[in-house]
Amino acid sequence: MTAPTAQRPPAGASATEGTTARSRRGAALAQRLVVVRELGILAALVLLIGVTLIANPRFLSGQNVRDLMLSAAVLVVLAAGQTMVIITRNVDLSVGSVLGLSAYATGTLLVAHPGTPVVVALLAGTAVGALCGLVTGAVVAVAKVPSLVVTLGMLYAIRGLDSLWASSSDRLQINASDLPAGFKSFGGARLLGVPVLFLLAIVVVALVGVHLRSYRSGRELYGIGSAPEAARLSGIPVGRRVLTAFVVNGALAGLAGVLYAARFQTLDTTAGTGLELNVVAAAVVGGVAIAGGTGSAWGAALGALLLTTIGTALPQLGLNPFWRDAAVGALILAAIALDRTLTLRLAARLRGRNLRGS
């Protein structure tokens, strides 16, 4: 009587399981590196606030903190949307112009119909931005034109459309006195002492962050940014995902335009000019790799808070505000260098683990 022989799994199955395990280890290690980056940004923010407090103990007074939150709200929303685009190895340089068009469209709507509810104004501005994002994303995803070229063209095209609209309507500027009282009060409203505009920005960041982390369509954006061809071969609808990322980014830029209108209440065709560079800087400083595939909305939000705090803290430290641009440039270079270092270390550690596992 012969003893039963144990069944061995097929060689292909064991190889697949090994590859899957290594992929999971690599993803977990990459996630830990992202957390380290975000903690580093948070530490830099705390250090900056601490140094500024030494120079001016009133820096964190109630009104100063609220002003800082209001100033950061628009940039935080824009950075969250830009994160989705950069993760896919693209970039959107038109968000400043989209913000300006949405802000002017919202102001025009409120002047023509003063009884418009704030929610309707928010939806209208978001729709304007989503339409701009749809056009941009279609050219990038369908026509396969590099996003840098497309969004640079859209930057000027949308700004020109905004100027043409303003000149044809004989209203080159919308003043606070032209806006309804309900919308102006929305811009300064607070909930438990926190500005409502900043709370909306946090909600946006939370929604984008959860989508990127917990939903398949969000996780696929990381796959596209890490290896576009491999993502395509694995069945990921690359074109559709990239298009969606641009539409969501445009919608959030439109929403930011409404927040901008509520915050400043004086609107013209120059609203948002140059803001696109700060948005990209906030995302990159916050740990979103410009090469794609890495980063989070929370990191981008921290980057936006850090850049806003730098602009507010420099005068408190007795430094010329023009040093802000130099500080932002230094942070971008440092973030790129850190990304490169972490990428090399990650690759080395994964190679070491693969050799030990083989």
- The CATH class given to the 61-348 domain equals mainly alpha
* Per-residue confidence in pLDDT tens, the chain, 358 aa: 444 444 454 544 444 444 444 445 545 555 566 666 777 788 888 888 888 888 888 887 778 888 889 989 999 999 999 999 999 999 999 999 999 999 999 999 999 898 889 999 999 999 999 999 999 999 999 888 999 999 999 999 999 998 888 888 777 788 888 889 888 888 888 888 889 999 999 999 999 999 998 899 889 999 898 888 888 888 889 999 999 999 999 999 999 999 999 999 888 888 888 888 889 989 988 888 888 888 889 989 998 998 888 888 877 777 776 776 777 777 777 766 766 666 666 556 656 655 555 5
Give the CA angle between residues 269, 256, 245 to the nearest 5°. 110
Q: What residue segments make up the domains of the chain, in order of their start?
A: 61-348
pLDDT at 104: 93
Phi, psi of 195 (to 5 degrees): -55, 135
Residue 6 is encoded by which pair of tokens? 């144990």
The partner residues of 173 in beta bridges, in order of sequence, read: 268
DSSP line for 97-116? HHHHHHHHHHHHHHHH-TT-
